[in-house]
Amino acid sequence: MPLHIETPLIPSRPLSRLTGKDVRLKLEALQPSGSFKLRGIGATCEALARQGKTRFISSSGGNAGIAVAYAGRQLGIPVTVVVPETTTARARELIALEGADIVVHGASWTEANALAESMVDATSAALHPFDNPTTWAGHATMIDEVARAGVVFDSVLLSVGGGGLMSGVVEGLRRNGLGHIPVVAMETFGADSLAQSAAKGERITLDAITSIATSLGAKQVCANAFELTRTHDIRSLVVSDLEAVDACLAFLHDHRVLVEPACGATLAALYRQDPVLAPFQSPLVIVCGGSTATLQQLQDWRAALVAKTA
């Protein structure tokens, strides 16, 4: 049995009424680790365990590290997670709860990843949080589940950090004969490496991550994600941190599920009824989840963001 679960696929009455569309939610926030990451990370960990690896080393802003820690505990393999200084206290707490060792290093994921890679030896394996074909194939299983359910949808809304989720979703669409369906790729300002890359026609590297949505905090998307902007119908949209936080709070009210701002970026497109959604009548929304933010933290972020824009 895989380490991830088949998540609910439900219609959203509140968002359908708000937008006038048939909105379906794929509730990846209900994965045991709290986010979609467990699908691909779990598949990769299982493959590495079969190869005889005796330790997993992860670099992560939060959710990938939690997924590796969960997978390692389930497989009986010790885990070390290197997190950047921006990783929330809640994320560190959840990684530790799964029994993993935590190392804090660097101002962003890029620095944390460099240290993680330097720690690998012959018996251990580095788990990249988003740039791995086995991981993409694992993420693609969420689209397999939607296809098996027979649900008709005309677009997919999702968040982009490093591009692993988008890579997996497009793979899932293509292997289910749905490669014509557009993907709306959501980011927050200050973590919008995909949107800037698509606009410039080259894979750029951000100088720094300035968004509070640190789970989207890859300075550069993976090469596969950038290539998909050329080979698939990808429509980029960037929202503010405040819009992402407000979407998290509205979604909690509407659906009683707490997600973090990285997921709120996707939901913001619906709550603000963005024109990018105008061509679509039946969007499939990947509620990617994220367990690294608390309600109090969302409220504190909102207060600070409102004060900053006043």
Instruction: Answer yes or no: are the C-beta atoms of 267 and 249 closer than 8 Å.
Output: no
Strand 183-188, strand 234-239: pairing: parallel
Residue 168: per-residue pLDDT: 98
Per-residue DSSP letter, 7: P
Predicted confidence (pLDDT) per residue in 180-212, tens digit:
999 999 999 999 999 999 999 999 999 988 898
φ, ψ dihedrals at 101, nearest 5°: -80, 140
The mean per-residue pLDDT over the stretch 245-264 comes to: 97
Residue 216: per-residue pLDDT: 75
Q: Which amino acid is at 235?
A: R
Q: Which residues pair with 126 in a beta bridge?
A: 57
Domain annotation for the chain: domains and CATH numbers: 9-36+134-309 (3.40.50.1100), 37-129 (3.40.50.1100)
Predicted confidence (pLDDT) per residue in 112-140, tens digit:
889 999 999 999 999 999 999 999 999 99
The mean per-residue pLDDT over the stretch 82-92 comes to: 87
Q: In angstroms, rounded to a whole number, what is the distance separating the alpha carbons of residues 96 and 66?
A: 9
